[in-house]
Chain A
Amino acid sequence: MKYAKRFDNRKLDEMRPMSAKVGVIKRADGSAMFQIGDTIAIAAVYGPRQLYPKFLQNPEKGILRCNYDMISFSVPERKKPGPNRRSTEIGLVTEQSLNPVVQLELFPNTVVDVFIHIIQANAGTRCAGICAASMALAHAGVPMKDLVAAISVGKVGDKIVIDLNKEEEDFEGGATDIPVAMTPRNNEITLLQLDGEVSKEELLEALSLAKKGCEKIYKIQQQALKDAFKGEKNE
């Protein structure tokens, strides 16, 4: 089905307005908020800290443990509080998207806990969560090779677009959602999922859109971190 013009009048390669802030949760070792359009994710990092029960400990490297959760009033129809199959899976893929950059070998036997909560949802929540989590890890001072930026791309009707909103995800003419996370410095893809149908060419086109999007997010993430540490030199 033809998708002539985006519901919110954006260009096909235009993302929704974004904002990011670091240090939003005082008690955490590191924390961050990432907003894209009406989607708001917050993440807090605790650790590296002792891991119990002991049999989970790895003497060669620390482990990263990510938890993803949508709060009950983040969506129009109340979501029952607590974990479900979807959030469990997203916790896992989030972990795997961040693992390649976190230098856990420096912290044997410990755990780095990352808690991600979606405060308000309008599509793209797992990507927003990954963006926030990677900033929170950096804010916590966990050694990292790079940040991780994530954006959802996809196909709405006959068009390849970046940053689908909820209305586009629900497009009657068919929508394919492709969440992508990248480590911008070496362009490696650390999260890739897809629901729908695309050709190989369309997928490659979508991935190149995602790359451009991640570069923009990367700048915002870096700026937010710089802002958080501004002035610390003089203290």
Chain B
Amino acid sequence: MLSKERKMNESYILSLLEKGKRIDGRSLSQYRKPISIEYNISKNAEGSARVTIGETEVIVGVKLDIGEPYPDSPDEGTIIVTAELLPLSSPDFESGPPGRNATELARIVDRGIRESKAIDLKKLCITPGEKIWMVFIDIYTMNDAGNLIDASALAAIAALSQVKLPKVEDDKIVYGELTAKKLPLVKMPITCTMGKIAGNIVADLSTKEEKTMSARLSIAFDGDTIHALQKGGSSGLTVDDIEKMIDMAAKNSKELRKVLK
């Protein structure tokens, strides 16, 4: 039953793509509109944001805590990204501990931030070898209408841009009281995901398109520099595909960047 519906869906998407069109009327390289960011949506997070890309909606909150550094980086703070694909946000998600897709999502967002050195981790050191700031970036999907990766990465960086360090007394955080001090956010990486459907390179896939795609590539940019890649999907990509994807993603990353304040 479901497979029949999916096949019809697929053949419709493919027949349109042959003419260079998509089911929602976009061009192949276009993101859905509107793309919006709402800042500080949570009173209890040190920074937070809600991002929508079309009907896809993701919220991200950042919480800070004081902890011990890793032995191999005694003078650096840490970042921890988690993602939950809430069953509230899609009929395809189930309750339970984060599965493979949620873990992958969190790790793609993590790598974009980590590898672009978006946060100056050395500035998050309080006492070398003893005390550092731990930055928890928690992603929650609200409505999955496709391309959760780009929405999550954008929401994460938007939330980080709002973070104010909490007040500390006797090495303990006074929750609910923020100082004026901001997080040392030195770069704003943007992640764009391109899909491949029957030989076509397509930007910002909707749910129906994601079910039809054979492969995808997520690219984290700082300007034109690539900081992280993740190839997904069950088929392969040619070098030619990858080049096209990078070009299309780079252009779109500039559009997404404009939405950030």
Taking a contact as CB atoms closer than 8 A, the residue among A27, A115, A117, A120 that contacts B44 in the complex is A120
A220 on the interface (CB 8 Å rule)?
no
B82 on the interface (CB 8 Å rule)?
yes
B65 on the interface (CB 8 Å rule)?
yes
Range class of the A interface residue count? 20 to 34
Residue numbers in B under 8 Å from A25 (CB-CB)? 57, 88-89, 142-143
Taking a contact as CB atoms closer than 8 A, the residue among A43, A46, A78, A121 that contacts B65 in the complex is A78
Contact B61 A73 (CB under 8 A): yes
Residue numbers in A under 8 Å from B44 (CB-CB)? 73-76, 120-121
Contact B43 A38 (CB under 8 A): yes
- The residue of chain A having its C-beta at the shortest distance from the C-beta of B54 within the complex is A26
A82 on the interface (CB 8 Å rule)?
yes
Range class of the B interface residue count? 20 to 34
Residue numbers in A under 8 Å from B142 (CB-CB)? 25, 42
Q: A72-B136, A73-B62, A77-B175 are in contact. Are A119 and B42 (CB under 8 A)?
A: yes
User: How far is it, in angstroms, between the C-alpha of A115 and the C-alpha of B91 when the chains are bound?
Assistant: 11
B87 on the interface (CB 8 Å rule)?
yes
Taking a contact as CB atoms closer than 8 A, the residue among B88, B97, B176 that contacts A76 in the complex is B176
Q: A26-B143, A82-B97, A115-B86 are in contact. Are A46 and B59 (CB under 8 A)?
A: no
Taking a contact as CB atoms closer than 8 A, the residue among A38, A42, A49, A122 that contacts B88 in the complex is A42
B104 on the interface (CB 8 Å rule)?
no
Q: A27-B143, A113-B87 are in contact. Are A72 and B43 (CB under 8 A)?
A: no
- CB of A53 to closest CB in B, whole Å: 13
B45 on the interface (CB 8 Å rule)?
yes
Q: Mark B75-101, 1 if CB is under 8 A from A, else 0.
A: 000000010101111110001011000
Residue numbers in B under 8 Å from A31 (CB-CB)? 88
Taking a contact as CB atoms closer than 8 A, the residue among B89, B138, B176 that contacts A71 in the complex is B138
- CB of A200 to closest CB in B, whole Å: 37
Q: Mark B133-175, 1 if CB is under 8 A from A, else 0.
A: 0001010101111000000000000000000000000000101
Contact B86 A117 (CB under 8 A): yes
B63 on the interface (CB 8 Å rule)?
yes
Residue numbers in A under 8 Å from B86 (CB-CB)? 69, 115, 117
B10 on the interface (CB 8 Å rule)?
no
A67 on the interface (CB 8 Å rule)?
yes
A18 on the interface (CB 8 Å rule)?
no
A28 on the interface (CB 8 Å rule)?
yes
- CB of A122 to closest CB in B, whole Å: 8
- The residue of chain B having its C-beta at the shortest distance from the C-beta of A72 within the complex is B138
Residues in B17-69 with C-beta less than 8 Å from chain A: 41-45, 48, 55, 57, 59, 61-63, 65
16 contacts between A and B (CB under 8 A): A25-B57, A25-B89, A27-B143, A27-B144, A28-B88, A28-B91, A71-B59, A72-B61, A72-B82, A72-B136, A82-B98, A115-B86, A117-B86, A117-B140, A120-B43, A121-B44
Complex A-B, nearest 6 residue pairs according to Cβ-Cβ distance, in ascending order: A73-B61, A76-B175, A115-B88, A73-B45, A78-B63, A44-B88
